Amino acid sequence: MSIPSEAEPLKEASQPERLKWEDWVGAACMVALALITFANVLVRYFTSQSFAWTEEISISLMVVVTLVAASAAVYRDRHIRIEVFFDSGSPQRRRLLALFSAAMTVLAFTLLAVFASRFAYDDYQYEVTSPGIGVPQWWYSVWLPVLSIVIAIRGLQVFLRVWRRK
């Protein structure tokens, strides 16, 4: 455990405890992805045929893993930024940049949630089915708005955490 320095305004020692669900969901999706891919490789090797559904499920799992990892990265302050620009300057400047970054994260993922919700609703309304299995497509597309809202909430938590630290 380390004590946060001025150069690291958002990092807290207790963060990993708060993110257990994201770590577990990400790990579970990765295990499922590995098992599905391995099963498909075995079937292709021994039968020269492929499971059609594996690509469909794999893509959906990769989207979930990406968004869950993004949520953890936002909260842990591990997202992409230009460190030279962010770390230079006074603590007040770093605080303002952290607030701006968190606010833009909330805005971006809120907008993504709104537009992805419309997309998922269209899949539901027009009864679009997936090409590989033939299940309703919204089963896959609903996770984008749901997890975008989670990321926006994480961004809001970061904003409030930085705001309270004066």
The structure tokens 């997309």 sit at: 119
C-beta atoms surrounding 78 within 10 Å: 14
pLDDT at 17: 57
Give a yes or no: residue 129 inside a domain. Answer: yes
- Whether the per-residue pLDDT at 14 is higher than 60: the answer is no
Does residue 5 belong to any structural domain of this protein?
Answer: no
Q: How many domains does the chain have?
A: 1
Q: What is the pLDDT of residue 77?
A: 87
Closest C-alpha among 70, 7, 58, 71 to residue 30? 58
What pLDDT score was predicted for residue 84? 84
Domain region containing 108: 15-164
The amino acid present at 6, given as its one-letter code, is E
Asked, for residue 9, whether it belongs to a domain, the answer is no
What are the tens digits of pLDDT across the range 96-149?
999 999 999 999 999 999 999 999 999 999 999 998 899 999 999 999 999 999
Q: How confident is the model at residue 5 (pLDDT cuts 50, 70, 90)?
A: very low
Instruction: Tell me the one-letter amino acid at 37.
Output: T
Q: Is residue 4 part of a domain?
A: no
- Write out pLDDT tens, residues 56-101: 999 999 999 999 999 999 999 888 888 888 888 899 999 999 999 9
Is 149 inside a domain boundary?
yes
* Residue entry with tokens 């899949």: 123
HEC states along the chain?
CCCCCCCCCCCCCCHHHHCHHHHHHHHHHHHHHHHHHHHHHHHHHHHCCCCCHHHHHHHHHHHHHHHHHHHHHHHHCCCCCCHHHHHCCCHHHHHHHHHHHHHHHHHHHHHHHHHHHHHHHHHHHCCCECCCCCCECHHHHCHHHHHHHHHHHHHHHHHHHHHHCC
Mean pLDDT of 35-50: 92
